[in-house]
Copies of this chain bind each other. A is one copy, B any other.
């Protein structure tokens, strides 16, 4: 069953562009070498069903996470990795040095191991680290008042070229529960949000390939997709393709949660080919280094792992430093104990040694490493509830308090930080999580897994959690960690990754709409207009998954002609309400007057009659 690991081959990487879509690059004005990738969807004309007159529909620009893979003008070579667009910006700041060799002992061992040559990514660049005494975090720059190219990139990207007129007026006012979303995202706003810790730009200086993105409550809600091999299944090739594939469907970030063989080499391939930031849980690899024995973990092994991964370019580390010895007993009577892998590893270590966790005691040492590479903290919720029964319990909230304490320490070091959240939580208990997180973590971004709103649907946990994710996104969570249909049951395959990503794009977008994020309704309106006008192709092309939408339509009405049919495949011609609505409008037009007037005329004729009878038929 297990395949032998090899390097990935070109042909396995998905590069098909989206239908009727053009990759565009919007230039910066502060930083001329900033070129923000977006996807522009061309729309067909509206044809008036009465007069056959055509009118143009403005193309729609979509936030694009797919990287160069969907640009037919770019040559993709997984063995070279993608273009390091941030390289010039990073080196240009003058605070970074290139190292002659990797600082991590483990990394040097792997590099020297000839038996791994066949599956090693051949990196031509040297690893980078902050010069002695320097802090290369975006937070550090932000606090100094510097608008980095990353910040300008993000400002342009977040606005999605939606015109002011549309962004500010053509949508419902939202309810953002106290967020401070501006009408337009400016580079200065990005800087300010990063400076005050309300937003994070994951941007390791060793991952120049990543396109800058931001995680914060006042920006578009982002999603994270988990990939990674395990001891029981999958290969390097599959994982690289899964990463590219996840970005294709809309993943803003990827976490590589590999726990199987060749973790170091697998990660290298993923990072070099990823257009989005990469996160990891370093304790997983550290555990592999001590053959799975949690009690054998040491600060030294963990520290070497952090440096190993930081020099590979990992953009954020999940660190379960909030699992304090005192909290472990609080989980003993839970229905599902500790369900976080990292949390349980640290709990086991604490108990075995009867000592406070080394992640907690060495937290400031970790900060020193983070700021030398600009790795962001994703403070792990090792004690998150794994069942409805355990939601919002003492252990969970005790840990959250500690995460708040650690956030302030990280900020003292000007290290970017966000906070992980649950888990399994029934709907009515979700908001308490968000409120408490904002309160104790000083508005540091929240990054949640789901939450799952019931335990009874294994096989459908993308949905049980998508419900909770949409809600907590609305309440203020900045990034949603996807859950796939395989959650609790198995390792996700490519189709599961797609389903998980699309589900979470839905949750994130529903949250943006509910928050009233400026411009967020634009795509909905364009798609609905296309739907109403039977512009089937436009409806497909504007959707989150154009391929599936078309496939489903084909299933009922496969003919090409059906794609321009003026009725819906579900109901047939007589029962299509859209068609009848059009007829209602046409009816008015036929009477050769403005439809509104026509309808009002109709009303006036009746009005007198009704008045005689009283305004209601039944009194």
A488 and B174 alpha carbons, distance in the complex (Å): 26
In the complex, which residues of chain B have a beta carbon less than 8 angstroms from the beta carbon of A569?
232, 489-491
| A449 beta carbon closer than 8 Å to chain B | no
- Asked if A552 and B489 make an inter-chain contact with CB atoms under 8 angstroms apart, the answer reads yes
Which listed residue (B294, B337, B502, B503) contacts A578, Cβ 8 A?
A: B337
- Asked if A575 and B341 make an inter-chain contact with CB atoms under 8 angstroms apart, the answer reads yes
A540 and B460 alpha carbons, distance in the complex (Å): 12
Which listed residue (B386, B514, B521) contacts A427, Cβ 8 A?
A: B514
Count chain B CB atoms within 10 A of each CB in A427, A507, A525, A605 and give the residue with the most.
A427
For window 531-554 of A, CB contacts with B under 8 Å fall at 531-532, 539-540, 542-545, 548-549, 551-553
Interface string of A583-619 (1 = CB under 8 A from B): 1110110000001100110110110001000001110
- Asked if A231 and B545 make an inter-chain contact with CB atoms under 8 angstroms apart, the answer reads no
A325 and B360 alpha carbons, distance in the complex (Å): 69
| A552: nearest chain-B partner, CB-CB | B489
A231 and B606 alpha carbons, distance in the complex (Å): 36
| A457 beta carbon closer than 8 Å to chain B | yes
In the assembled complex, the CB of A114 is this many whole angstroms from the nearest CB of chain B, namely: 27
In the complex, which residues of chain B have a beta carbon less than 8 angstroms from the beta carbon of A388?
172, 513, 521, 524-525, 528
Which listed residue (B470, B584, B618) contacts A409, Cβ 8 A?
A: B618
A618 and B365 alpha carbons, distance in the complex (Å): 12
In the complex, which residues of chain B have a beta carbon less than 8 angstroms from the beta carbon of A81?
none
For window 432-480 of A, CB contacts with B under 8 Å fall at 453-460, 462-464, 466-467, 470-471, 474
Which listed residue (B171, B344, B460, B531) contacts A584, Cβ 8 A?
A: B344
| A169 beta carbon closer than 8 Å to chain B | no
Chain A: residues with Cβ within 8 Å of the partner, total of 145
A365 and B324 alpha carbons, distance in the complex (Å): 71
In the assembled complex, the CB of A195 is this many whole angstroms from the nearest CB of chain B, namely: 22
| A555: nearest chain-B partner, CB-CB | B490
A171 and B516 alpha carbons, distance in the complex (Å): 35
Which listed residue (B491, B525, B539) contacts A556, Cβ 8 A?
A: B491
A481 and B391 alpha carbons, distance in the complex (Å): 29
| A355 beta carbon closer than 8 Å to chain B | yes
Which listed residue (B336, B516, B573) contacts A532, Cβ 8 A?
A: B336
In the complex, which residues of chain B have a beta carbon less than 8 angstroms from the beta carbon of A595?
332
Given contacts A325-B603, A577-B341, contact A557 B454 (CB under 8 A): no
- Asked if B545 and A387 make an inter-chain contact with CB atoms under 8 angstroms apart, the answer reads no
| A17 beta carbon closer than 8 Å to chain B | no
| A109 beta carbon closer than 8 Å to chain B | no
Which listed residue (B459, B578, B616) contacts A549, Cβ 8 A?
A: B459
- Asked if A525 and B335 make an inter-chain contact with CB atoms under 8 angstroms apart, the answer reads yes
| A345 beta carbon closer than 8 Å to chain B | yes
In the complex, which residues of chain B have a beta carbon less than 8 angstroms from the beta carbon of A125?
none
- Asked if B587 and A545 make an inter-chain contact with CB atoms under 8 angstroms apart, the answer reads no
| A581 beta carbon closer than 8 Å to chain B | yes
- Asked if B427 and A260 make an inter-chain contact with CB atoms under 8 angstroms apart, the answer reads no
Given contacts A460-B503, A506-B463, A549-B459, contact A570 B525 (CB under 8 A): no
In the complex, which residues of chain B have a beta carbon less than 8 angstroms from the beta carbon of A464?
506, 510
In the complex, which residues of chain B have a beta carbon less than 8 angstroms from the beta carbon of A338?
577, 580-581, 584
| A184 beta carbon closer than 8 Å to chain B | no
- Asked if B490 and A389 make an inter-chain contact with CB atoms under 8 angstroms apart, the answer reads no
In the complex, which residues of chain B have a beta carbon less than 8 angstroms from the beta carbon of A180?
none
| A343 beta carbon closer than 8 Å to chain B | yes
| A509 beta carbon closer than 8 Å to chain B | yes
- Asked if B486 and A556 make an inter-chain contact with CB atoms under 8 angstroms apart, the answer reads yes
- Asked if A572 and B510 make an inter-chain contact with CB atoms under 8 angstroms apart, the answer reads no
- Asked if A489 and B549 make an inter-chain contact with CB atoms under 8 angstroms apart, the answer reads yes
| A104 beta carbon closer than 8 Å to chain B | no
Which listed residue (B339, B409, B539) contacts A458, Cβ 8 A?
A: B539
| A385: nearest chain-B partner, CB-CB | B528
Interface string of A401-445 (1 = CB under 8 A from B): 000010001000000000000001011110000000000000000
| A331 beta carbon closer than 8 Å to chain B | yes
- Asked if B513 and A426 make an inter-chain contact with CB atoms under 8 angstroms apart, the answer reads yes
Q: Interface segment, A45-53, A197-205, A346-354?
A: A346-354
- Asked if B471 and A427 make an inter-chain contact with CB atoms under 8 angstroms apart, the answer reads yes
- Asked if A232 and B325 make an inter-chain contact with CB atoms under 8 angstroms apart, the answer reads no
| A210 beta carbon closer than 8 Å to chain B | no
Subset of 8 A-B contacts with CB under 8 Å: A284-B575, A340-B577, A348-B583, A351-B584, A363-B617, A364-B618, A454-B524, A457-B505
Q: A344-B581, A489-B553 are in contact. List 7 more A-B contacts (CB 8 A).
A: A332-B596, A341-B576, A388-B528, A409-B618, A427-B470, A459-B543, A490-B557
| Nearest 7 A/B pairs, CB to CB | A337-B581, A490-B556, A231-B572, A329-B599, A292-B574, A387-B528, A344-B580
